[in-house]
Structure 1
Amino acid sequence: MNENGTDETDQTAGTAGDPASGPGGTADSGQTGIPELVIISGMSGAGRSTAAKCLEDLGWFVVDNLPPALIPTMVELGARSQGNVARIAVVVDVRGRRFFDNLKESLADLKEKQVPRRIVFLEASDNSLVARFESVRRPHPLQGDGTILDGIAAERDLLRELRGDADLVIDTSSLNVHELRAKMDAQFAGGEEPELRATVMSFGYKYGLPVDADLVVDCRFLPNPHWVPELRQFTGLNEDVAQYVFNQPGAKEFLNGYAELMHLVTEGYRREGKRYVTVAVGCTGGKHRSVAMSERLARRLASDGIETVVVHRDMGRE
């Protein structure tokens, strides 16, 4: 994936990372048992190779374009490595579409064997994907005699069920390679895996809903600081703007009520084994109300023991 988000290596196959190298992810050679597994999939051009490279740099053993039927075998080989291969990431995509029907059976096999696995799905808008394929002058792997959009539509249909089963969906439409790596680092770098990790994302409705949101919060019922001349130039990170937002009728009650709702939701996520949740908080432009509300909501989630990351998608836009 280049600086504009294009997945430069999606058409190449067969990369593997050395689990004994890379920062922040060296496997404990004394560890034994079933390795941890991450399955990376998603739309062609959305950044699968960049995501895989990031895990490789964190010390994961990475296999690109592995036929889904071979995933259980890969895990079994890792289990025999006496802890030398403690974490495996495999990239599954439409290049292996002849084997794609086997993915469901492989996932069922992994569940039966109680293999800890997560699915990361890379997503992007049609416009972004078309621009990326055109910039590198490559056809979409499924377009055949049709257009790039025809290939994208066919791929979305093929991956729809897998996207629904994903533990983490990342929308790379507006991300460059460095921002995508930062998102992967935020989710996978460090030591012990937390029970639940939340991303609270502010956004502007006029720029579209975030496609990777699990939950959407609408703050447009609150008065807009944009129409207050002395506040317009600032963002929700400014204390005067935040005070203006939370001094409005219903603002604090809304925050308290949604925090209580999130407590119920996150408890359910934990019971179901879901480790990631993205809460999108929106206002008109994504600059004032949603930013202030996101910051306060993130603090509340963190106080409940949830590791929380705040992202302001549209704060810098005009």
Structure 2
Amino acid sequence: MGTAQPEESANATIPELVIISGMSGAGRSTAAKCLEDLGWFVVDNLPPELIPTMVELGARSQGNVARIAVVVDVRGRNFFDNLKGSLADLAAFNVARRIVFLEASDEALVRRFESVRRPHPLQGDGRIVDGIAAERDLLRELRGDADLVIDTSSLNVHELRAKLDAQFAGDEEPELRATVMSFGYKYGLPVDADLVVDCRFLPNPHWVPELRPYTGTSEEVSNYVFNQPGAKEFLDRYTELLQLIAAGYRREGKRYVTVAVGCTGGKHRSVAMSEKLARRLSDGGVETVVVHRDMGRE
């Protein structure tokens, strides 16, 4: 039995498509609700083999369904074979599609499942962690193919919605969106980062008593950081490298990139560098948002 294909005709408008997937308990339902509030037509738990049919129906709506978001999970058998087949069918019809993958740490997922007293859909007769491990293994390839990966381990519902609003609320879709994220190495690497750079080669303002209470968003700390040897040169050269990478991402159709900038605690050096770097990228035509993951931690 053949797979339905999006209709090609002068009157058919192929809708934009976002596929929301990721770990169970990582916030797929919240992401779906957010896109629905932004005006997307959302279908939850759609079998992957029906995605081309959904796009075909949208194409027949005469523009009334211009943006479709589909939530898919691993509960169905032959999940990956069906999804790969559907994406291959869509590629032949130039459907603009993106994959959003929601991630979270094992600890966060276990805590969430225990709080609602529900089993993991893949744990069977085992433990919650067994189901999480099985799902990670099954989704590994999809995570690698995702256009946007969001780690929700430390995000509340409002913070997740804010991230999605920043990516999808615009009326005109930019060629590339960048998130520049400062972080502290002592709190762990951001799992949703595409690129990671280390600012610990610069002197730490934490050891300057009058600067310790401030953050990298303050003029005092920023001036201190960028008056250090190598700071301005690093900013210039890394900006040039990111501009080169951004041009390649555009050619390859990648629309999202997360650049993580780290220092020891994520309060001073990485914050100051992230602010300057985001401004440079924005001035270079990349739509950019800044996130300071660890700035408020002690």
Aligned residues: 288
Gaps of 5+ in 1: 1-30
Aligned amino acid, residue 156 of structure 2: N
Aligned amino acid, residue 197 of structure 1: R
Instruction: Name the structure 2 match of 1:259.
Output: 239
Query: How far off is 1:96 after superposition?
Result: 2.3
Instruction: Name the structure 2 match of 1:144.
Output: 124
User: How many angstroms apart in 2 are the aligned matches of 1:48 and 1:98?
Assistant: 20
Gaps of 5+ in 2: 1-10
* Residue 106 (str. 1) matches residue 123 (str. 2): no
Say whether the 8 Å CA contact 1:196–1:307 is kept in structure 2. yes
For residues 90 and 228 of structure 1, do their structure 2 counterparts lie closer, same or farther at Cα, with a shift above 3 Å needed?
A: same
Aligned amino acid, residue 258 of structure 2: T
Instruction: Name the structure 1 match of 2:170.
Output: 190
* Residue 63 (str. 1) matches residue 43 (str. 2): yes
Percentage of matched positions with identical amino acids:
87
Q: Deviations over 1:179-228 (max 9, x none)?
A: 00001100000201001110000000000000000000100010000000
Output the TM-score relative to the length of structure 2. Answer: 0.95
Q: Which of 197, 200, 204 is residue 220 of structure 1 equivalent to?
A: 200
Q: Deviations over 1:120-161 (max 9, x none)?
A: 000001110000001101110001111111100100000011
User: How many angstroms apart in 2 are the aligned matches of 1:69 and 1:108?
Assistant: 11
* Residue 230 (str. 1) matches residue 213 (str. 2): no
* Residue 33 (str. 1) matches residue 6 (str. 2): no
Moved more, 88-97 or 163-172: 88-97
User: How many angstroms apart in 1 are the aligned matches of 2:79 and 2:264?
Assistant: 44
* Residue 176 (str. 1) matches residue 156 (str. 2): yes
Say whether the 8 Å CA contact 1:36–1:117 is kept in structure 2. yes
Q: Secondary structure at the match of 1:232?
A: coil
* Residue 200 (str. 1) matches residue 180 (str. 2): yes
Say whether the 8 Å CA contact 1:66–1:96 is kept in structure 2. no
Query: How far off is 1:164 after superposition?
Result: 0.5
User: How many angstroms apart in 1 are the aligned matches of 2:76 and 2:35?
Assistant: 21
Q: Deviations over 1:277-310 (max 9, x none)?
A: 0000000000000000000000100110111000
User: How many angstroms apart in 1 are the aligned matches of 2:77 and 2:260?
Assistant: 33
Output the TM-score relative to the length of structure 1. Answer: 0.89
Q: Secondary structure at the match of 1:39?
A: strand
User: How many angstroms apart in 2 are the aligned matches of 1:175 and 1:47?
Assistant: 10
Q: Secondary structure at the match of 2:210?
A: helix
Q: Residues 1-318 of structure 1: matches in 2 within 5 Å? A: 32-318=12-298
User: How many angstroms apart in 2 are the aligned matches of 1:151 and 1:192?
Assistant: 40
User: How many angstroms apart in 2 are the aligned matches of 1:121 and 1:97?
Assistant: 19
User: How many angstroms apart in 2 are the aligned matches of 1:32 and 1:183?
Assistant: 32
Q: Deviations over 1:96-118 (max 9, x none)?
A: 24444210011111111111100
RMSD: 0.9
User: How many angstroms apart in 1 are the aligned matches of 2:207 and 2:79?
Assistant: 56
User: How many angstroms apart in 1 are the aligned matches of 2:209 and 2:38?
Assistant: 47
User: How many angstroms apart in 2 are the aligned matches of 1:213 and 1:306?
Assistant: 17
User: How many angstroms apart in 2 are the aligned matches of 1:208 and 1:190?
Assistant: 31
